[in-house]
Amino acid sequence: MCDETDSAQFDAALARRGLNRRQFAAMGAAVLVWACSSGKPEAAGPEAGPSPSGPAPLGEAMVSIGTPDGEADAFFVHPASGRHPAILLWPDVGGLRDAFKLMARRLARQGYAVLAVNPYYRGARAPVLESFSEWMTPEGKAKIQPLRNGLSADAVTRDARAYVAWLDGREAVDSTARIGTMGFCMGGPFAVRAAAAAPRRIGAAASLHGGGLATDAPDSPHRLLAQTEAAYLFAIARNDDAKEPETRDVLRKAADKARRPAEIEVYPADHGWTVPDSPAYDEPAAERAWARLSALFSERLKTKAG
């Protein structure tokens, strides 16, 4: 969602934590103290490497990817050796920033080569915003909205195909394995569009509190499920469900009609609950969603691409 009505809900979420917007913004990078390996807070900065007691080290870099619309910047992270199934990660409305680099690293430590993209590359390089708290300001919204307006369904589809092709050309990627894709907030429908853009490659797609998944538009994401070969996880926020309770039923019917496996669940947490720099971040619910996401990728990305 991340629309104007969410501002009051974010304020309420902050109030439950004893904070206001000014205090939340002042926390800065402290909000991002999040362990990639376990999801638990730790005494490390957002750019920290793997724990000495953790698994093998990672390779990571900001990369440039040619698309039909220009050069996209993205964060690519993977185990330092070997070839691994790939995951394409679409951030929320705040764009690519440290919070999503952290989650990408966590996935990489689970054995994946992860590309976290800057959806706004047509107008700005990442990070457009340093944290979600900036999105909650008039200045932050003014930065984002013109960039967001350029993300048409066709643009996202073109991008998805370019990202998949780029991933398949990396030495760290096992191009014989299926690719996973996941999206947060506005990125939720992008994950579905990616699965439709590269159906022979993408075997799993997840939407975490995604908005705009089931609309009246002819190209609504739910209408694309039959064009895909993916299994799905739709993790829905309770306040999004309260606004649009019909969405889960539309998704269920669409998945069944398309004969696509789909786990569809309303979580006891609010929009943004899985993103560590969101005021709605809810660690227990986030870990539960992460467990389901991990299970989906573990099962589906072992399948060889056709």
Domains by residue range for the chain, with CATH: 4-45+56-300 (3.40.50.1820)
Strand 70-79 relative to strand 58-67: parallel, antiparallel, unpaired? antiparallel
β-strand pairing of 58-67 with 262-267: unpaired
CA angle, 258 then 291 then 244, to 5°: 50
For residue 35, is pLDDT > 90? Answer: no
What mean pLDDT is reported for the chain?
87
> Which residue in the block uniquely carries the two structure tokens 């573990």?
298
Place of tokens 């402290």: 30
Cα 173 to chain centroid, rounded: 19
Least confident of 104-118, 130-144, 206-220, 257-271: 130-144
Pick the closest to residue 189 from 149, 146, 142, 232 (CA basis).
Answer: 232
Residue 6 has pLDDT above 60, yes or no: no
For the cut 90, the answer to whether the pLDDT of residue 44 exceeds it is no
Q: What is the pLDDT of residues 255-280, one digit of tens each?
A: 999 999 999 999 999 999 999 999 99
Write out pLDDT tens, residues 77-111.
999 999 999 999 999 999 999 999 999 999 999 99
CA dihedral sign, ordered 82, 87, 88, 92? negative
Which of 114-118, 122-126, 138-142 is predicted least confidently?
138-142
pLDDT of 102: 95
Kindly list the distances between the CA atom of residue 102 and the CA atoms of 27, 91, 119, 168, in Å, as whole numbers in the listed order: 17, 12, 17, 23
Of the ranges 41-45, 205-209, 287-291, 293-297, which one carries the lowest mean pLDDT score?
Answer: 41-45
Residue 302 has pLDDT above 80, yes or no: no
- CA gap 97, 236 in Å, rounded: 23
181, 205 contact by CB (below 8 A) = yes
For CA atoms 189, 191, 194, 200, the dihedral sign is negative
Is the predicted pLDDT of residue 299 greater than 60, yes or no?
yes
What's the pLDDT at 306?
57
User: What average pLDDT does this structure show over 63-74?
Assistant: 98
Give the mean model confidence (pLDDT) for residues 203-226: 97
- Global pTM reads 0.85
Give residue-wise pLDDT tens across range 223-247. 999 999 999 999 999 999 999 999 9
DSSP state of 226: G
Within 8 A by CB and 6+ apart from 249, the residues are: none
How far apart CA 48 and CA 50 sit, in angstroms, is: 7
Angle between helices 153-168 and 187-197 (to 10 degrees): 60
Mean pLDDT of 186-198: 98
Determine which of 37-41, 225-229, 274-278, 292-296 has the lowest per-residue pLDDT on average: 37-41
